[in-house]
Amino acid sequence: MIERRPFAELGAFRNAWLDTKYHFSFSSYYDPARMGVGGLRVWNDDAIAPGTGFDPHPHRDMEIITYVMHGAISHRDSLGNVGKTAAGDVQVMHAGRGIVHAEYNEGSEPVRLFQIWIEPRERGVAPGWASREFPRLGGLTVLASGDAAAVAAGALPLYADAALVAGRLMAGDSVTRDLAPGRAAYIVPARGGVRVNGVAIDERDGAVVRDAARVVVEASEAAELVMVEVAA
């Protein structure tokens, strides 16, 4: 089953420095029909104005992924980690038993990113942070995962029964990814339009895939695809 969630129908928030769309209920946006997919609880599509960002704030017991599409976002946290995640990079923060962090756009143009929150499989783990650059061409790449084999192959680790998969496709390309029984996927084309198991999904739409043995994505145009797989 494919459930399309059009970009125009997502929750929204805007102020002087942040323009965001909410794929799931978050902050002041609440829709009981959109509380997440399995352990995937948050998928925010953020645009952050230059010279602004999120002042220090705490998190706890959540796996937080930042996928940067344009620009770069700086990071500083209570563990002493300092870094910058640029377009083409992914960062993972383990909130665990508690972490305070800040993120800023120190550049001269807006940063566009996805912020994705996934519930951990265990509470109270040691907090941590890591950022890495990944290739995006030639199909789909596992960028972060709770599976030990995927981590051994180069994915960033997650304390969650989940995986973040992404890639760039040329027009006419097709990729297939199997889904194990009991698993679901949430797919967002960061750029370009695609067809997911035959259903047209436009740029920045969301698509829930449930009760399917595999996901087949066909690129209608040059596209950048981001997918999270979770236990349904």
Number of H helices, E strands in the chain: 1, 22
pLDDT tens digits for the chain (232 residues)?
A: 899 999 999 999 999 999 999 999 999 999 999 999 999 999 999 999 999 999 999 999 999 999 999 999 999 999 999 999 999 899 999 999 999 999 999 999 999 999 999 999 999 999 999 999 887 666 899 999 999 999 999 999 999 999 999 999 999 999 999 999 999 999 999 999 999 999 999 999 999 999 999 999 999 999 999 999 999 9
DSSP state of 39: T
The number of CA neighbours under 13 Å toward the Cβ of 191 is 17
Where in the chain are the domains? 2-231
Q: Which fold has domain 2-231?
A: Jelly Rolls (2.60.120)
Whether this prediction's pTM lies above 0.75 is answered by yes
Give yes or no for a contact between 187 and 209, defined as CB atoms under 8 angstroms apart: yes
